[in-house]
Amino acid sequence: MVTRIIGLDPGLRNTGWGIIEVEGTRLSYVADGAVHSDADAPLAQRLLQIHEQVLAVLKEFTPEEAAIEETFVNTDARATLKLGQARGAVMLAPAALNIPVSEYAPNSVKKSVVGAGHAEKAQVKHMVKVLMPKAQMKTADSTDALAIAICHAHHRGLQRLKDVLARS
C-alpha cells in the first residue's frame, strides 16, 4: 500500500513543504515548494495567508499523513512566539482536512535522515538527494520539509502504535 506524506517546515516568512510516497521501505519524491506571507501585512493576516496556502497544497496533493517540525526555542522570545504562531496556523491546515499530524524535534529529523542529531544543513540536503535522487529541493525550507517527511516515514509505525496505546 502506498502512503502519501507531507512534511511541513513552518516559518512566518516561508513555510516549506515536501511530499513523498512510501511503499514498504521505498521512498519516492512527489513534489516540494514553499508558501510565503506578505512581510508588510499584520501578523493575523500573515498567519491566514500561510494557513490558506498550506490548505491549497494539501488539497492539490491529497496526502494521508502530515509531519511537522517542533518549534525550537531561541534567545529571541518574540521570534520564538511568532514561529509558534506560524506553526499553529500550519498545523491547523491538515487538521481541518482530518489528516493526522505527527511532530518531530529538529534533532530527531536530522538523526533519521543523516544518522546524527547535530548534522549540518548541507549534510541533510545531501542525504535527501541520496534517498530521493529526483527531489528538486526548490528552497532550503522545502529541503527541510522533505527531511521531515522522510523522518515520519521512518517513524510512522511507532507513532501509530503510540496512538493506539494512548486510546486504550
Just list the catalytic residues: 9, 69, 141
- C-alpha 117/C-alpha 31 separation (Å) is 25
- C-alpha 11/C-alpha 40 separation (Å) is 15
DSSP string, 110-166: HHHHTS-TT--HHHHHHHHHHH-TT----SHHHHHHHHHHHHHHHHHHHHHHHHHHH
Q: How is residue 104 written as a grid cell?
A: 518531530
- Given CA atoms 152, 24, 139, 57 in this order, what sign does their dihedral have? negative
Q: With beta carbons less than 8 A apart as the criterion, state whether 17 and 142 touch.
A: yes
